[in-house]
A = this chain, B = another copy of it.
Amino acid sequence: MPDIQPDKAAVAQQIRHLQDTLYVVNGKWKLPILVAIHQGNSRFRDIQRSVQGITTKVLSTELKALEQNKLVVRRVYDTSPPTVEYTTSSYCDTLQTMILEMIAWGKNHHDRIREE
């Protein structure tokens, strides 16, 4: 009667990976912000306008978190007043397929809910 169940260990491992991902992209705003930036909105106000309903404060703190996790790059240009530009990092590109899957599921889900 074996004590070690490799299946359970593998499942636990998968769950941990999932939790690692969630730790980085969790919350209402992070992924929407990434999409907005990725699609060409590099300025603070442009991002805010793209992501419906977000406030300056929340956007500001989320951008800092994303920068810390190296998903977003912030560049300040020495103009007057300073111009600030946000872009997604190349590391952020590794999230692409995941995000596309999430968008696809959301679309599908929305259609399904409407049908009810």
Chain A residues proximal to chain B, CB less than 8 Å: 7-8, 11-12, 14-22, 24, 26-28, 31-32, 35-36, 39-41, 50-52, 94-95, 97-99, 101-110
Contacts and interface: CB of A to CB of B under 8 A. Distances in A.
B22 A31 contact: yes
Q: How many copies does the complex hold?
A: 2
Nearest to A12: B50
Contact of A103 (B18, B36, B106): B18
Nearest to A14: B103
A52 B12 contact: yes
Contacts of A52: 12, 15-16
Nearest to A109: B20
A106 B8 CA distance: 19
Best-surrounded residue of A7, A21, A99 (most CB of chain B within 10 A) = A21
A36 B50 contact: no
Contact of A18 (B15, B32, B97): B32
A26 B25 CA distance: 10
B108 A98 contact: no
B19 A50 contact: no
